[in-house]
């Protein structure tokens, strides 16, 4: 999308400018206008999202809006996202878990797995982000109140129903991002979603995402997402959530 906006701005400069200075002004004006239009479209679309009861019929539309916004953002910030091991991903629904190093983790994962329509269980506070929060909820991300265990159980059950319907749902067992890069203790209850949905458990390792904020615009950042393992349901069916968590932790700690 960013390249399209750049191409359109260059075309406008070529058509309407008669000097180098004029061309520069037309290019900048056209680019800013297109970016503003993009933001206005997002803002208008967000008005139709009921945060408490989003419409599943429109999940694909809002996911597309996220991808069309995240792509240019990553390109502008000189962020490259590499997905390794995509061929391991199972058909149908699955639960994706992994380490959490940065606020950019969910959007880079959703971008890398955009063909699978990946969405995440996200903290309730993210839904309050102006414009973006409603787009996130509209895309099908599940809003979790980390202070309410009863609501958390309802969210897990929602995730189970959607996984059974063939969706890919992601969750970070640490519950929050690690500021040191070390794996934090897991919230083991999230693994119940894979057992209740009787689905594969995909383990995704994220590397270098913590550098995005520091490097943004200044230098390139290569974020690497690696599908480390796919645990079939039969393998985890009779395990306790603690055992599953230990297995996932060991997989993520592998070199």
Give strand pairing partners of 171: 97
All CATH 3.40.1130.10 domain ranges in the chain, comma separated: 53-253
Kindly report, residue by residue over 102-150, the tens digit of the pLDDT: 999 999 999 999 999 999 999 888 888 999 999 999 999 999 887 787 8
Kindly report, residue by residue over 162-202, the tens digit of the pLDDT: 999 999 999 999 988 888 888 999 999 999 999 999 999 99
Q: Which CATH number fits domain 53-253: 3.60.10.10, 3.40.1130.10, 2.60.40.10, 3.30.565.10?
A: 3.40.1130.10
Sheet strand arrangement including 201-207: 79-84, 221-231, 201-207, 94-98, 168-171, 119-123, 142-144
Kindly report, residue by residue over 167-176, the tens digit of the pLDDT: 999 999 998 8
100 Cβ neighbours under 8 A, 6+ residues apart: 172, 174, 175, 176, 177, 178, 184, 206
3-state helix, strand, coil in the chain (%, to 5): 55, 15, 30
Sign of the C-alpha dihedral, residues 190, 238, 183, 224? negative
Q: What pLDDT sits at residue 47?
A: 95
Question: Parallel, antiparallel, or unpaired for β 221-231 and 201-207?
Answer: antiparallel
């Amino acid at each position: 999308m960013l390249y399209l906006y750049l191409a359109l701005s260059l075309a406008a400069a070529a058509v309407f400018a008669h000097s180098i200075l004029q061309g520069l002004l037309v290019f900048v004006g056209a680019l800013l206008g297109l970016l503003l239009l993009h933001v206005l479209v997002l803002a208008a679309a967000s008005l139709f999202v009921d945060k408490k009861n989003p419409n599943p019929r429109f999940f694909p539309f809002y996911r597309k809006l996220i991808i069309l916004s995240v792509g240019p953002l990553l390109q502008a910030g000189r962020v490259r996202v590499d997905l390794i091991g995509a061929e391991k991903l199972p058909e149908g629904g699955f639960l994706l878990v992994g380490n959490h190093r940065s606020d950019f983790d969910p959007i880079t994962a959703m971008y890398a797995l955009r063909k699978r329509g990946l969405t995440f269980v996200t903290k309730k506070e993210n839904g309050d982000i102006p414009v973006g929060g409603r787009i996130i909820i509209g895309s099908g991300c599940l809003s979790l109140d980390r202070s309410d265990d009863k609501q958390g159980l309802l969210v897990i059950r929602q995730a189970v129903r959607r996984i059974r319907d063939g969706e890919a749902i992601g969750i970070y067992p640490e519950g929050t991002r690690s500021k040191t890069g070390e794996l934090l203790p897991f919230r083991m209850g999230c693994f119940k979603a894979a057992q209740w949905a009787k689905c594969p458990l995909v383990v995704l390792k994220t590397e270098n995402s913590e550098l995005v904020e520091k490097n943004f615009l200044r230098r390139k950042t290569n974020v690497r997402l690696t599908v480390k393992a796919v645990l079939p349901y039969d393998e985890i069916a009779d395990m306790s959530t603690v055992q599953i968590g230990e297995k996932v932790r060991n997989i993520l700690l592998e070199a």
